[in-house]
Amino acid sequence: MDNAFGKPLVPPFDPYANSLNFIIASYVIPYVGLTGYVGANRLLSATSRELVPPYGVAVEEFTNRISILRSKLGIRGLKDEGIIVPTGLGAEGRVKGNILAGDVNSLAYSRTPEERLRIIYGSGDEHVRGGFYPKGESGHIAQSYLK
């Protein structure tokens, strides 16, 4: 954060100090991942066919199955797609390479806090912790569902 402001912040920025700081700090990762994914788009078709050892399953199938699971756990319909989608479902109905799951207007699907918790907990229930957060998330919103 010091680099973002061009000077040391006083007190030093702590991404774990509170929920707001964590959200601000988390802005760094998704956009880097997304733009890196977009930059690698031309490679996705070839990569999607590669087999993941030792399973003998293609990257595309892993991605599709994870996407199906996230939609199932979220319980609010299709809000996820794999790497390759039918052309009609791709951006503006014209492409089949998929960088960011979105609707026919290329607008990203939104997820409620409940949907997000159902997915990251892996339980399909925002009240049941697990998955990436076996002890549950510590933020105010997440904790409100665990009480």
Question: Whose CA is closest to 72, among 25, 123, 109?
Answer: 123
pLDDT for the residue numbered 4: 86
Average pLDDT over residues 57-82: 80
Query: How many domains would you assign to the chain?
Result: 3
pLDDT band at 96 (very low <50, low <70, confident <90, very high): low
50 with 104, same domain: the answer is yes
84 with 97, same domain: the answer is yes
pLDDT for the residue numbered 33: 58
68 with 80, same domain: the answer is yes
Please state, as a whole number, how many other Cβ atoms lie within 10 Å of the Cβ of residue 20: 10
> Range of 129's domain?
112-147
47 with 104, same domain: the answer is yes
Looking at every residue in the chain, the average pLDDT score rounds to 79
119 with 99, same domain: the answer is no
Query: Exposed, middle or buried by CB within 10 Å (0-12, 13-18, 19+), for 115?
Result: buried
pLDDT above 80 (res 146): yes
